[in-house]
Amino acid sequence: MKNRIPVVLLACGSFNPITNMHLRLFEVARDHLHQTGRYQVIGGIISPVNDNYGKKDLVAARHRVAMARLALQTSDWIRVDSWESEQAQWMETVKVLRHHHSELLRSLPQMEDPDQGSASSAASAAAPELKLLCGADILKTFQNPNLWKDTHIQEIVEKFGLVCVTRAGHDPKGYVLDSPILQKYQDNIYLAREPVQNEISATYVRSSSNSPKQQRWEHRCHEDVMSGRTMDRTYTPVHEKLEKGNSPAAQWLRVHLPMQGMWVGKLRYHLSQGS
């Protein structure tokens, strides 16, 4: 794929918890961009939202980040980045894009320019682009002025670009045409259709985790997150702490811990710091 523009995809969100459908977004988006003949996707970044986002039942970031890392440990092109979750406050999406764009540019190999006597990018002719990856439900929220500033929307689609994976029940083309800003920069918005429609969301996973539906949705989460059907009760101090907690995070973790022995084993240090 010579002469193609290298691209890194960035997905922001709660990942509460990360599901196979989150990972599927990356695969569909990569295939779509490759089919344009213009791009070569060289990487993907998952950026879990900061704890101060204020979403109901949001599990502590360190747990969401750790679960995402487990889900991606076999991926050779998608990684988790904890920068957003580690900030002192909630970060707007455009600020997360700016940060990762700066990091991308900083990571480019530098070489000495013999004519200018100064360092310049060895890959300046093919500097990687950073594009925001999202589902159609997020694209629809661009119409809500209480959620997005027009200046931020414009910067996202003008400077970075957007890849939206469509979902059943959404009209992404309509969302673009209904927005003057999105319509103006529609050439930098890529709508990728998901051939396999699956409406199992992280919200559904959480809400049905202690119901008879549990076995039917377990395969929606990555096997490394859901692996381990029995809890090693040697972690009793951690388990007792979670059993006594009344926070949404403690309640959610209490439901999932019995099914995630391997996850708990790998994260016992983090869990021991509290829920």
Query: Smallest Cα–Cα separation from 46: which of 24, 19, 27, 68?
Result: 68
- What's residue 23's pLDDT? 96
Residue 121: which residues within 8 A CB-CB, separation 6 or more?
Answer: 105, 108, 109, 110, 111, 127
- What's residue 34's pLDDT? 98
Element (H or E) spanning 39, and its range? strand 39-48
pLDDT in tens, the chain (275 residues): 678 999 999 999 999 999 999 999 999 999 999 999 999 999 999 999 999 998 888 999 999 999 999 999 999 999 999 999 999 999 999 999 999 999 999 988 764 444 555 444 444 557 899 999 999 999 999 999 889 999 999 999 999 999 999 977 899 999 999 999 999 999 999 999 988 765 544 444 444 444 444 443 344 444 544 443 322 332 234 444 444 555 554 554 555 444 344 344 444 444 444 44
Question: pTM value?
Answer: 0.73
Residue 69 has a CB neighbour count (10 Å cut-off) of 18
- What's residue 213's pLDDT? 41
Query: Smallest Cα–Cα separation from 264: which of 234, 244, 222?
Result: 234
Q: For residue 17, is the peptide bond before it cis, meaning its omega torsion is within 30 degrees of 0?
A: yes
- What's residue 30's pLDDT? 98
The tokens 């969100």 sit on which residue?
Answer: 13
Q: Provide φ and ψ at 30, rounded to 5°.
A: -65, -45
- What CA–CA distances, in Å, run from 75 to 43, 71, 222, 244? 10, 8, 12, 36
What is the C-alpha separation between 4 and 40, in angstroms, rounded? Answer: 6
What is the C-alpha separation between 205 and 49, in angstroms, rounded? Answer: 18
pLDDT per residue as tens digits for the range 244-254: 555 554 554 55
Cβ-contact 43, 165 below 8 angstroms: no
What is the C-alpha separation between 79 and 73, in angstroms, rounded? Answer: 8
